[in-house]
């Protein structure tokens, strides 16, 4: 059976805007209001971050939102409680993103079943090795209609990109440059050689570019090279501005969609 | 039962390489090359030469007569404190820096807790003319100030880790983030038997020189290669891994790993991972980990910066799980008492980390004829401020 993520890519292959935020930030119960507001503003897909105490692949912004979210009391059971019933309110594709340890403690199978019950479509766990996923968890994910999304980077060898593509069934997450989230190198989407190289490989999955996309210009550049882009740190910063959630989300999404 | 890493990088159910894709090419390059490079005759020649002439190996195996009398057993101290830079850490940094050079890397990063690994890394980088950046928790920068000064003197850049508990765990996070952002020219010298495979195995092999020497030294002194006990402190577990290595498959040698209990196991301020941890993933390795029910890493505590870590190397998790090693834990106060005792009985001021191993001697049940080898992992120069304050010696 197709999930919402897979259906999205059948319907639309260009200019997809995906937004990441950390569940439980800025306030514990903002999760559902943020999802609904993002959908109202025309975002095509949402990644909900499950905060972790030691987020190795994240830059300062998401480290900070994770720390606050944990302090606010966010946990996986709490997140599931908040998301229960979300499918009566929206059909936007939802991806959960986090680190392996909290999911492992919850129980991978139990986690996947719960995701299916709620209507989650995809999972990103950057520190779950591809080989272990294939050997131990792939069947469980597929049985629960969950797409496991993997990252590739400018340094990922071609053969491994093909392997990742073959085990993916939604999209390939192209990390824009060697960096943690937020784009510490300020290189944004400069590495055209890499984007073109991956494009020329003719992968079966569409690619979405993330890390360091922060304004309409970098979003437009990313869309030139791939089916769309993911914005995380820049959105989290926007949530911290003065003003209501609604205002902040509206003006941020508008600023991204405007032609540069 | 095997205590060696298998080809997937596991010791029993512990180990592996749980890393984000950004680190995969570098870790994979290392995995494919480390054994081959370490076996090359030119590599070994260069390494052994440096260990002998630069580090000062072999380190003595010293019969501690007065300490032995006090505990009514035969205690030998393996004097890793007499290495250049003052701890066992340099055995590993000399090895890894040679490896990094062979892999063509020009920029070296490291994490450090007590600062001993940072100093040992800064030292070999000065020796090789390589750029060196050391990540250190903000709290550790304060409590191990002499080592910060040494690193700066050696030309390293010391970067404060200000997240989380601001100690070793957080310094390691920052080092990993640096490596993610600098994948081409940078090599990460991990300081203990932690991290993704192949690091635990590689670091254990570089530290294995400790037990290699103990074997022939004990043969010379006692006419036997095998002691009854080997005792070592465990932070991540590198000095213990080195002291245990050649005895892992000799069941009659009892291995004792000593963790830091901080203010006490049940105080909420502790770093005794084997008691307080359960299986989890930290810094790329599946191992025992102090964590909440929800899988968030717990902030550990110990007076000793080198033992103040919420995990333990996967080899040690396996030694604990398989009961091959006996795990003990020692509080801040017990360790401090052991510092004073060794200082006054033998004229040796130990590091706080090593003092944890000393404080466990009376618990292991050694008989008068038993031979106990205690790995004295480092010297106490870096801890003098703590000692002066705690022992109230300032005014005297
Ligand atoms: C003297 C000394 N001993 C022991 C340790 C703990 O590390 P490990 O458990 O890897 O030997 C340290 C770490 O900083 C140290 O400086």
B114 touches ligand 1 (CB under 6 Å): yes
Contact: B180, A178; criterion CB under 8 Å: yes
Band the pLDDT of B392: cuts 50, 70, 90. Answer: confident
Instruction: List the structure tokens of B218.
Output: 């004990």
Residue B89: active-site member: yes
Span of A159-168, A190-199, B116-125 with lowest mean pLDDT: A190-199
The owner of tokens 């205002």 is A247
Which residues of B, range 270-329, sit inside 8 Å of A by Cβ?
Answer: 280-284, 289, 291, 293-297
Would you call B160 an interface residue with chain A, using a CB distance cutoff of 8 Å? no
Would you call B176 an interface residue with chain A, using a CB distance cutoff of 8 Å? yes
Nearest Cβ partner of B181 from A76, A104, A178?
Answer: A178
Which ligand 1 atom sits closest to the C-alpha of B203?
10
Nearest Cβ partner of B25 from A128, A157, A185?
Answer: A157
Contact: B22, A57; criterion CB under 8 Å: yes
Contact: B296, A150; criterion CB under 8 Å: no
Among all residues of chain B, which has the CA nearest to that of A173?
B21
Select which of B74, B78, B89, B105 is catalytic: B89
Band the pLDDT of B165: cuts 50, 70, 90. Answer: confident
User: Nearest CA of chain B to the CA of A251: how many Å?
Assistant: 31
Length of chain A: 260
Query: In this structure, what is the dihedral angle of CA atoms A21, A23, A29, A30, given to the nearest 10 degrees?
Result: 0
Instruction: List the structure tokens of A177.
Output: 């440059």
CA B276 to chain centre: 20
Tell me whether strands A94-97 and A122-124 are parallel, antiparallel or unpaired: parallel
For residue B173, pLDDT over 90 is answered with yes
Band the pLDDT of A185: cuts 50, 70, 90. Answer: low
**This prediction's pTM:** 0.97
Close Cβ partners of A123 (under 8 Å, ≥ 6 residues apart): A95, A96, A97, A112, A115, A141, A146, A147, A148, A149
Average pLDDT, rounded, for chain B: 97
User: What is the Cα–Cα distance from A223 to A16, expressed in whole angstroms?
Assistant: 8
Q: Could you tell me which CATH class the domain A14-257 is placed in?
A: alpha beta
DSSP string across A64-110: HHHHHHHHHT--HHHHHHHHTTGGGT----EEEE--HHHHHHH-HHH
Select which of A30, A44, A47, A165 is catalytic: A47
User: What is the Cα–Cα distance from A115 to A243, expressed in whole angstroms?
Assistant: 32
Would you call A67 an interface residue with chain B, using a CB distance cutoff of 8 Å? yes
Q: Closest residue (by CA) to atom 16 of ligand 1?
A: B116
Q: What is the pLDDT of residues A139-180, one digit of tens each?
A: 999 999 999 999 999 999 999 999 999 999 999 999 999 899
Q: Structural domain boundaries of chain A?
A: 14-257
Q: How far is the CA of B188 from the centre of ligand 1 (A)?
A: 18
End-to-end CA distance of chain B: 55
ipTM of the prediction = 0.95
């Amino acid at each position: 059976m197709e999930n919402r993520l897979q259906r999205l890519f059948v319907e639309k292959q260009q200019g997809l805007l995906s937004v990441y935020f950390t569940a439980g930030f800025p306030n514990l119960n903002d999760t559902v209001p943020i999802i609904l507001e993002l959908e109202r503003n025309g975002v095509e897909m949402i990644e909900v971050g499950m905060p972790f105490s030691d987020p190795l692949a994240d830059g300062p912004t998401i480290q900070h939102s994770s720390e606050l979210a944990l302090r606010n009391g966010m946990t996986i059971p709490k997140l599931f409680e908040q998301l229960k019933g979300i499918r009566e309110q929206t059909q936007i594709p939802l991806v959960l993103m986090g680190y392996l340890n909290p999911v492992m403690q919850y129980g991978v199978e139990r986690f996947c079943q719960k995701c299916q019950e709620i209507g989650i479509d995809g999972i990103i766990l950057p520190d779950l090795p591809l080989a272990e996923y294939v050997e131990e968890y792939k069947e469980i994910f597929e049985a629960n209609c969950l797409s496991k999304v993997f990252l590739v980077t400018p340094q990922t060898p071609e053969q491994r990109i093909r392997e990742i593509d073959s085990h993916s069934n939604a999209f390939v997450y192209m990390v824009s440059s060697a960096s943690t989230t937020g784009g510490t190198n300020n290189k944004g989407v400069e590495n055209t050689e890499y984007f073109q190289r991956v494009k020329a490989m003719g992968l079966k999955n569409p690619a979405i570019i993330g890390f360091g996309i922060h304004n309409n210009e970098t979003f437009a550049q990313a869309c030139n090279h791939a089916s769309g882009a993911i914005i995380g740190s820049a959105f989290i910063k926007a949530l911290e501005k003065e003003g209501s959630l609604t205002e902040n989300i509206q003006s941020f999404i508008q600023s991204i969609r405007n032609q540069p | 039962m095997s205590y060696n890493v298998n080809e997937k990088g596991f010791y029993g159910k512990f180990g592996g390489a749980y890393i984000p894709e950004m680190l995969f090419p570098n870790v994979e390059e290392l995995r494919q090359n480390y054994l081959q490079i370490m076996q090359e005759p030119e590599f070994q020649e260069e390494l052994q030469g440096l260990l002998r002439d630069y580090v000062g190996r072999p380190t003595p195996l010293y019969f501690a007569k007065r300490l032995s009398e006090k505990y009514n057993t035969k205690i030998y101290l393996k004097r890793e404190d007499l290495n250049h830079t003052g701890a066992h850490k340099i055995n590993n940094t000399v090895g890894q820096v040679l490896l990094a050079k062979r892999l063509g890397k020009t920029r070296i990063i490291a994490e450090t807790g007590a600062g001993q690994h940072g100093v040992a890394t800064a030292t070999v980088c000065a020796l090789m003319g390589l750029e060196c950046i050391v990540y250190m928790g903000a709290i550790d920068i304060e409590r191990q100030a002499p080592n910060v000064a040494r690193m700066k003197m050696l030309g390293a850049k010391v970067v404060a880790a200000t997240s989380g508990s601001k100690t070793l765990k957080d310094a390691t996070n920052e080092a990993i983030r640096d490596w993610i952002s600098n994948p081409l020219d940078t090599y990460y010298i991990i300081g203990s038997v932690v991290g993704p495979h192949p690091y635990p195995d590689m670091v254990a092999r570089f530290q294995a020189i400790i037990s290699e020497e103990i074997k022939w030294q004990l043969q010379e002194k006692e006419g036997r290669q095998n002691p009854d006990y080997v005792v070592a402190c465990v932070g991540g577990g590198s000095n213990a891994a080195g002291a245990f290595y050649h005895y892992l498959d000799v069941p009659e040698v009892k291995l004792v790993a000593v963790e830091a209990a901080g203010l006490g196991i049940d105080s909420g301020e502790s770093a005794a991972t084997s008691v307080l941890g359960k299986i989890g993933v930290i810094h790329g390795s599946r191992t025992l980990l102090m964590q909440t029910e929800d899988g968030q890493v717990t902030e550990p505590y110990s007076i000793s910066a080198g033992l103040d870590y919420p995990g333990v190397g996967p080899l040690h998790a396996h030694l604990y799980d398989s009961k091959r090693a006996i795990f003990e834990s020692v509080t801040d106060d017990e360790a401090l008492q052991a510092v004073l005792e060794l200082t006054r009985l033998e004229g040796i001021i130990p590091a706080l980390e090593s003092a944890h191993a000393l404080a466990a001697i009376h618990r292991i049940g050694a008989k008068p004829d038993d031979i106990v080898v205690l790995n004295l992992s480092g010297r106490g120069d870096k801890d003098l401020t703590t000692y002066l304050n705690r022992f109230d010696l300032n005014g005297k």
